[in-house]
């Protein structure tokens, strides 16, 4: 009888502890993905900070060629110069600023 009472007394704390342990494990796994993506983000920030901006970039002489209909075939579009920005986006931003629209793209 005493052994049964001890088993019942420890049953609820064991269930609570087991549930907390499972949630903790799930949280650790989720945070691993977060820190992996954080490293990729920091690498991209370093790449951006190391990019040199020239006057030709500012006035639009170094714009990539217009990708045309090829740009809209996928969501990623075309990034010919591998700077992480779609070529159609670069052109619309730069041409919008040149037309006096600011960074909104000439709207």
State the pLDDT at residue 55: 79
Walking along the chain (107 residues) 10 residues at a time, the average pLDDT comes out as 64 90 95 85 85 73 72 72 70 62 48
State the pLDDT at residue 105: 42
Helix (H) or strand (E) holding 18: helix 2-49
Q: Which two tokens stand for residue 85?
A: 């920005």
Nearest to 64 by CA among 90, 84, 44, 40: 90
Q: Is the pTM above the cut of 0.95?
A: no
State the pLDDT at residue 23: 96
The residues spanned by each domain of the chain are: 1-51, 53-107
């Amino acid at each position: 009888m005493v052994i049964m009472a001890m088993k019942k007394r420890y049953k609820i704390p064991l269930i609570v502890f087991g549930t907390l342990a499972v949630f903790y494990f799930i949280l650790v796994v989720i945070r691993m993905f977060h820190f992996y993506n954080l490293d990729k983000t920091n690498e991209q920030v370093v790449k951006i900070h190391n990019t040199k901006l020239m006057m030709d970039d500012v006035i639009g002489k170094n714009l990539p060629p217009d990708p045309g209909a090829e740009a809209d075939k996928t969501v990623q579009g075309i990034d010919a110069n591998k700077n992480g920005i779609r070529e159609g986006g670069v052109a619309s931003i730069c041409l919008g600023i040149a037309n006096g629209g600011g960074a909104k793209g000439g709207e």
